[in-house]
Amino acid sequence: MTRLLWVTVPYLAFTSLLLGHIWRYRHDQFGWTTRSSQLYERRLLRWGSPLFHFGLLAVLGGHVLGIAVPASWTAALGVSEHAYHLLSVSVGTLSGLATLAGLGILLYRRSTVPAVRKATTSIDKVMYLLLTAALGTGMLNTVGSNLIGGGYDYRATVSPWFRSLFTLHPHPELMAATPISFQIHNLVVLTLLAIWPYTRLVHVFSAPLGYLTRPYIVYRSRGPARPGAHRYARAWEASAPPPARR
Amino acid sequence: MKIMPQLAMVMNLDKCIGCHTCSVTCKQAWTNRSGVEYAWFNNVETRPGQGYPRRYEDQQRWKGGWTLTKRGRLTLRSGSRLTRLLNIFANPDLPTVADYYEPWTYDYQNLVSAPAMDTTPVARPTSLITGEDTAVTWGPNWDDDLGGGPEHLGGDPVLATLSEQVKLEFERTFMFYLPRICEHCLNPSCAASCPSGAIYKRSEDGIVLVDQDRCRGWRQCVTGCPYKKIYFNHRTGKAEKCTFCYPRVEVGIPTVCAETCVGRLRYIGVVLYDADAVLAAASVPEEKDLYPAQLGVFLNPHDPRVVAQAERAGISQEWIEAAQASPVYQLIVNYQVALPLHPEYRTMPMVWYVPPLSPVVDALAGTGHDGEDAGNLFGAIDTLRIPVEYLAELFTAGDVGPVRAALQRLAAMRAHMRRVNLGEPVAPEIAESVRLTPKEIEAMYRLLAIAKYEHRYVIPSAAGSDAHRLDALATGCSLGSEGGPGMTAFDAMDDKFHLTDTNGAAAPANKARRINLLNWDGKSTNGLFAPAPETHGSPR
């Protein structure tokens, strides 16, 4: 059970994340979009979307710091465990709250604005559920365990386990010993990573940072015509041909 | 110098009857799909009026097009690249569907499926966005034919720039139709605002297109375009726009809107331009100089140096000949009757308009005058300040000079051709008063009034455009005197119409103060001689 949950599941999720993105990038450029709903509604989005996105970027940064960077490195920099704990709990709580507030506004908007509700697909709903669960359990870990519950040093268990996955010598026993809320959080996030390439979340990987350096106007040659060279299936249905005459 | 060909359009507003055939055929061809129900790549709006989407010309609100920084550098009005990336999660300057209109259909099924009842069943309007019942309160052409009208008058952003006096008089003056498609600008701000680099300008014909595979739905282009001619497909999450019907023009036939125009008011042709000169021209400090600056970017296709350079750039003989026979170039340069729409947006638009003379003629006829007498018309153009000023706000960033000149040429054409048609003796001074010869006026009349299909559309096919390139690589010759006088459309027009006489501020720096000896009054030598060189080198 320990091996299944903390070795097989993560590797399956990472495989799906990687191969799914490659597959989708090659076969569904046309579907690779944010599918923004700002055209329908502006006022709620104006608050919800930046809160959610910027909050999430901060949350992501916190995760990189807490999981990818070993505790020994921060200690070598002279950051005491107490100082790290203080920083991670305060900034983590703040950015988590911002993200949660943003998500709340966005979910409210998605369910109450008729046009936005109609534009919501079933994979969207699954994705929102997982996102909410991931954020909820994450907040539970930060606020519940670390702020109120006296602190839990995930850098001694969760982080080494996560890093061990990438050295191909996984240590599932580290993860099995963590509190249940951390385990649930990890499973939810792994599921989210697994379905990521099949949702609108793909837009994260096309963050347009190249815009800062490219020239303003793009000129492109028409290029040689390649009749019938379709890279992937048609994105719309052709109308029915007229019945043949006798 | 980098010569590029551009397919451009001119619309003769005098002939637009506002029938919307262009809009409807365009819709049928391109946007009769879900997700773009609200989008009209071609629309016809009544001016004065709010336009579509509502008040799109109010750039204080929508932040479209380019502006100059304090240091005089060209930048997008919606902000620097970094600002725009920081606003990517919620674009503050994006119109919502309500600013266009909520598209609707009718529940026709109810007409045949309703049970027997006392009252006649009705087809309720249903929103195409939400699928629910809706109240129709605005449409793509809600203020059609109202000419502003008391209710919508205040909504016209162009009127807002004119004085209060003009506003009050306005209801009683005039109305005309303005058909609009994408401008396929030389300096497209939509392309510049696309974070993904999905919007590009085709180097073969200048058509601006959205790569549907590379668009990621960041929707910055909708804000970037000051004409609001980029539409966000809310089903696919991708931007869409007018394609200049590229599958048609590639095989040498006109766009759907032009082909089906019952007024035969659209002209399509090639214009050669210097792509390297675009940035400088779009950055001139004075907005009123943008129209002559754009003329300075166009190249004279009859100049042998331009032809040689074009050949060297790999432009095929067919395209060069099309540029020489271009009706668009003739209307813009040879007759100087076509003007750009809102040059002050600094995008260098390439759909130009012949301003309407009809309001002036109507006003004259309404007061019992002869609406086709040259003297009357010339006087009226000068006196009817309001239409001319309104047109100037649309076409020349408020400079009435070029608008008045274009209207005078149209007036001269009317007066001249009436004499011809009535068998009266031709008065050459009518033509000369607008710096044209009677022969030129008659040629202009044929182009504008007879408007034969093959004269309106001079579209080279795309097939041969690559063939010459390899050939040109081997035989290209160097050009010593590029950029010299006579090469640009501005120089060609300047020679003919003496643009600098009436339009000093609009001329290039080295010609702004040049004097025309023909009407020199001898009182001052100011501008008669070239300024003394400041260094001791030989004068240019």
The verdict on a CB contact (< 8 Å) between B191 and A115 is no
* Rounded distance between C-alpha atoms, residue B403 and residue B503, angstroms: 11
Q: Which residues lie closer than 8 Å to B115 by C-beta, 6 or more apart?
A: none
pLDDT tens figures, B157-215:
887 777 655 555 555 567 899 999 999 999 999 999 999 999 999 999 999 999 999 99
* Rounded distance between C-alpha atoms, residue A188 and residue B237, angstroms: 28
Name the maximum alpha-carbon separation found in chain B.
100
Q: Which residues partner with B202 through β-bridges? A: A220
CA distance B439 to chain A (A): 41
The verdict on a CB contact (< 8 Å) between B81 and A35 is no
ipTM value greater than 0.95: no
The verdict on a CB contact (< 8 Å) between B82 and A212 is yes
Burial B9-31 (b: 16+ CB within 10 A, else e): bbbbbbbbebebbbbbbbbebbb
* Rounded distance between C-alpha atoms, residue B443 and residue B471, angstroms: 36
The verdict on a CB contact (< 8 Å) between A35 and B237 is yes
The verdict on a CB contact (< 8 Å) between A36 and B188 is no
Evaluate if residue A220 carries a pLDDT over 60.
yes
User: Helix, strand or coil for residue B403?
Assistant: helix
- pLDDT of A115 reads 95
Chain B residue whose CA is closest to A53 = B89
Chain A residue whose CA is closest to B237 = A35
Provide the phi-psi class of B106: left if phi over 0, else alpha when psi is between -120 and 50, else beta: beta
CA distance B19 to chain A (A): 28
Sign of the dihedral through C-alpha B439, B441, B445, B446: positive
- pLDDT of B521 reads 57
Q: Which residues lie closer than 8 Å to B35 by C-beta, 6 or more apart?
A: B233, B234, B235, B236
Evaluate if residue B487 carries a pLDDT over 90.
no
Amino acid at B454: E
CA distance B188 to chain A (A): 7
Nearest to A197 by CA among A10, A1, A26, A4: A26
Burial B431-458 (b: 16+ CB within 10 A, else e): bebbebebebbbbbbebbeebeeebbbb
* Rounded distance between C-alpha atoms, residue A126 and residue B48, angstroms: 50
What would the DSSP string read from start to end of A117-177?
A: HHT--HHHHHHHHHHHHHHHHHHIIIIIIIIIS----GGGTHHHHHHHHHTT---HHHHHT
Chain A residue whose CA is closest to B36 = A39
The verdict on a CB contact (< 8 Å) between B97 and A40 is yes
The verdict on a CB contact (< 8 Å) between B218 and A208 is yes
Residues 353-372 of B with CB under 8 A from A: none
* Rounded distance between C-alpha atoms, residue B241 and residue B194, angstroms: 13
Q: Which of A35, A118, A206 sits opposite B196 (nearest CB)?
A: A206
- A236 CB within 8 Å of a chain B CB: yes
When pLDDT is averaged across residues B265-287 and rounded to a whole number, the result is 96
Q: Which of B90, B96, B213 sits opposite A39 (nearest CB)?
A: B96
The verdict on a CB contact (< 8 Å) between B237 and A211 is no
Residues 206-235 of B with CB under 8 A from A: 212-219, 232, 234-235
- A212 CB within 8 Å of a chain B CB: yes
* Rounded distance between C-alpha atoms, residue B461 and residue B250, angstroms: 5
* Rounded distance between C-alpha atoms, residue A54 and residue A66, angstroms: 18
Chain B residue whose CA is closest to A45 = B90
| Chain A residue numbers touching B235 (CB-CB < 8 A) | 119
**For residue B144, what are its two tokens?**
């059609």
The verdict on a CB contact (< 8 Å) between A39 and B234 is yes
- Residue B212's Cα: distance from chain center in Å? 26
Instruction: Provide the number of CB pairs (under 8 Å) joining chain A to chain B.
Output: 122
* Rounded distance between C-alpha atoms, residue B469 and residue B309, angstroms: 13
- pLDDT of B505 reads 45
| Chain B residue numbers touching A29 (CB-CB < 8 A) | 213-214
Least confident range from B270-274, B380-384, B411-415: namely: B380-384
Contact B285, B72 (CB under 8 A): yes
Name the maximum alpha-carbon separation found in chain A.
88
Q: Which of A99, A118, A204, A216 to mutate to test the interface with B (most CBs of B within 10 A)?
A: A216
Residue that wins the pLDDT comparison between A83 and B517? A83
Residue B53: asked if its preceding bond is cis (omega within 30°), the reply is yes
Residue that wins the pLDDT comparison between B237 and B361? B237
* Rounded distance between C-alpha atoms, residue B17 and residue B11, angstroms: 12
- pLDDT of B311 reads 94
* Rounded distance between C-alpha atoms, residue A128 and residue A107, angstroms: 8
Percentage, residues of chain B above pLDDT 90: 70
The verdict on a CB contact (< 8 Å) between A217 and B187 is yes
Q: How far is CA A222 from CA B176, B188, B462, in A?
A: 37, 18, 10
* Rounded distance between C-alpha atoms, residue B211 and residue B371, angstroms: 50
- A203 CB within 8 Å of a chain B CB: yes
**For residue B373, what are its two tokens?**
């007498």
| Chain A residue numbers touching B197 (CB-CB < 8 A) | 210-211, 214, 218
CA distance A238 to chain B (A): 12
Residues 104-133 of B with CB under 8 A from A: 129-132
Evaluate if residue B148 carries a pLDDT over 90.
no
**Mean confidence (pLDDT) of chain B:** 86
- B96 CB within 8 Å of a chain A CB: yes
When pLDDT is averaged across residues B230-244 and rounded to a whole number, the result is 96
Q: Which residues lie closer than 8 Å to A44 by C-beta, 6 or more apart?
A: A105, A106, A108, A109, A113
pLDDT tens figures, B9-45:
999 999 999 999 999 999 999 999 889 999 999 999 9
Sign of the dihedral through C-alpha B131, B136, B137, B143: positive
- B407 CB within 8 Å of a chain A CB: no
- What are chain A's domains? 2-212 (1.20.950.20)
Contact B332, B349 (CB under 8 A): no
* Rounded distance between C-alpha atoms, residue B306 and residue B442, angstroms: 28
The verdict on a CB contact (< 8 Å) between A38 and B91 is yes
Chain A residue whose CA is closest to B347 = A217
* Rounded distance between C-alpha atoms, residue B473 and residue B471, angstroms: 5
The verdict on a CB contact (< 8 Å) between A29 and B219 is no
Q: Which of B2, B69, B76, B89 to mutate to test the interface with A (most CBs of A within 10 A)?
A: B89
pLDDT-based confidence at B529, cuts 50/70/90?
low
pLDDT-based confidence at B463, cuts 50/70/90?
low
What would the DSSP string read from start to end of B435-476?
A: T--HHHHHHHHIIIII--HHHHB----SGGGTHHHHHHHHH-
pLDDT tens figures, A103-134:
999 999 999 999 999 999 999 999 999 999 99
Around Cβ B86, how many Cβ atoms within 10 Å?
12
| Chain B residue numbers touching A28 (CB-CB < 8 A) | none
| Chain B residue numbers touching A38 (CB-CB < 8 A) | 90-91, 94, 96, 219
Evaluate if residue B539 carries a pLDDT over 50.
no
The verdict on a CB contact (< 8 Å) between B201 and A219 is yes
The verdict on a CB contact (< 8 Å) between A236 and B131 is no
Residue that wins the pLDDT comparison between A186 and B470? A186
Q: Which of B82, B90, B132 sits opposite A38 (nearest CB)?
A: B90
DSSP B175: -
